[in-house]
Every structure is written in C-alpha cells, then in structure tokens.
Amino acid sequence: MTAPVITIDGPSGSGKGTVARLIALELGFHLLDSGAIYRVLGLAATDARIQLDDSDALASLSDSLNLSFPYNAQCTQIILNGASVGDRLRTQVAADAASRVAIHPRVRDALMNLQRRQARDPGLVGDGRDLGTIVFPDADLKIFLDANVEVRAERRYLELIQSGQTVERSAILRDLEIRDVRDRTREVAPLIPANNAYVIDSSDKTAAQVVANIRDLWRARGLA
Ligand code: DC
C-alpha cells in the first residue's frame, strides 16, 4: 500500500500553500511545498553565480539539495542541508529565479525523486504547479486552486508587506502576470489542471472555506 496523496496545484496567490498546510495539519500528513524547492534552487544558483539558463549546472546543483518541510498552524519551515532557509525565499527575486529555473526539463527531472520521496506514511499533502499532472499522477485527490489575478496580487502584496518587505502593488501584479504566462506556457509540465482535478475558485473564499470544500471531497471518497 502506498501512502495517500492529496495534490493542490494552482497559480501564485491562489492560496494553495495555506490550504495545503491546514489540510496536512488536520490529517497529520507530511507537507510538500514544491515551489520552495524551485525557489531554493533559484537562489542557490544565483549565489553560486550559475546562469539561470545553464540547465546542466542547474541539474547537478539540484542533485545536491537536501530539503525537508516541517510545519505548524502558522507557517512552513524550509530546511536546507540541516539549516533553516530564511525569509529570502519569499522575495520577488526568489520567485522570479524559481520560475526561470523551472522551465528546464533536466532540472524538473532531477527534482522528481526528491518530491516523490515525500509521499510516505501516514500521507502527503503537496502544493505546486504539476503535482497532479506529472509528479503524482495517481494521487488520491487532486485540487486545482485558482483565483482572479487582482485578488492573487492583493494577497501576495499583503503577504510581502506583513513580512516587512517594501513592495508596490502595481509591480506585484506585473510580476505575477509575467510569471503566470511563463508557468502556463512552458513546454514541460505547464500549469494546467489534471483531467481528474477538482477546480476550486478561491477569489471569494477564505482559506477555511476552501479547506471545508476539500474536506468534503476527501470524505465523500471515503478517504477520511
Ligand atoms: O508556488 P511558488 O510561487 O512558490 O512557486 C515558485 C515558482 O516555482 C513558480 O513560479 C513556478 C515554479 N514551480 C514549478 O514550476 N513547479 C512546481 N511544482 C512548483 C513551483
């Protein structure tokens, strides 16, 4: 028997990270923040002065990442090689670098096993762009969480302001739109709902309402 897996894919600001954490907490499952993996890689490459289009160098850097994701009700921690990665991961620079390294097929391949290894007992909740389509095609429940771009930009803005960063609303919206296009149109593992995913629009919903929605789906399938 393999461990049960719930995947929550969607664009930036759809609320998938918060919702994934709340569901993992409720079920006592492990949590996989796959975007953090791409963010860590983007930052590590920048620090090592590796060009973000050098797929060979990026793929070998990917092989050296040892990551885990302990979490509680408030936040998810990212542990890289035994040490916590700080708030740098949540900057626009990290988001942009992540989206750029993520277009390379070799990089995505290199990160596949690291992601699949997280699916262990008692179960896994993962969020990302391609978890339901590519990484866990046999997941027990697949969610595609979306929201209109203005709502997503506002959420991202508030998140960055609350973490003490100085940012402009218009810049956030522009960056989000650029990243959306790159993530949705790339040749490998583009951001699209899996055929058997439930699409939920969170534009007018709180995180608790989305969680309740997913809980109903989970129970209806007899998986609770
Ligand atoms: O979810 P996030 O905003 O932290 O993701 C940052 C970037 O990483 C996103 O713009 C695209 C990339 N990514 C990906 O390609 N595949 C995933 N499963 C998760 C993230």
Domain boundaries, the chain: 5-205
Residue 150: per-residue pLDDT: 96
**39 C-beta closer than 6 A to ligand 1:** yes
Checking phi first, is residue 48 left (phi over 0); if not, alpha (psi -120 to 50) or beta?
alpha
Residue 92: per-residue pLDDT: 84
Residue 1: per-residue pLDDT: 61
**155 C-beta closer than 6 A to ligand 1:** no
Q: Are 186 and 102 in contact (CB under 8 A)?
A: yes
Q: Are 33 and 127 in contact (CB under 8 A)?
A: yes
CA of 222 to the centre of ligand 1 (A): 30
**35 C-beta closer than 6 A to ligand 1:** yes
Give the integer Cα–Cα distance in Å for 77 and 175.
24
Q: To test ligand 1's pocket by mutation, which of 67, 69, 90, 129 has the most ligand atoms within 8 angstroms of CB?
A: 129
What number of H helices and E strands is found in the chain? 8, 8
Q: What is the pLDDT along the chain (224 residues), one digit of tens a residue?
A: 689 999 999 999 999 999 999 999 999 999 999 999 999 999 999 988 999 999 999 999 998 888 888 888 777 888 888 888 888 888 888 999 999 999 999 999 999 989 999 999 999 999 999 999 999 999 999 999 999 999 999 999 998 899 888 899 999 999 999 999 999 999 999 999 999 999 999 999 999 999 999 999 999 988 76
Residue 11 φ then ψ, to 5° = -75, 170
Q: Amino acid letter at 96?
A: D
CA of 183 to the centre of ligand 1 (A): 8
Ligand 1 atom with the smallest distance to the CA of 94 is 6
Superfamily of domain 5-205: P-loop containing nucleotide triphosphate hydrolases (3.40.50.300)
pTM to 2 decimal places: 0.92
Identify any residues that bridge with 84 across adjacent strands, giving them in sequence order: 79
The two three-digit tokens of residue 191, written as one number: 């951001």
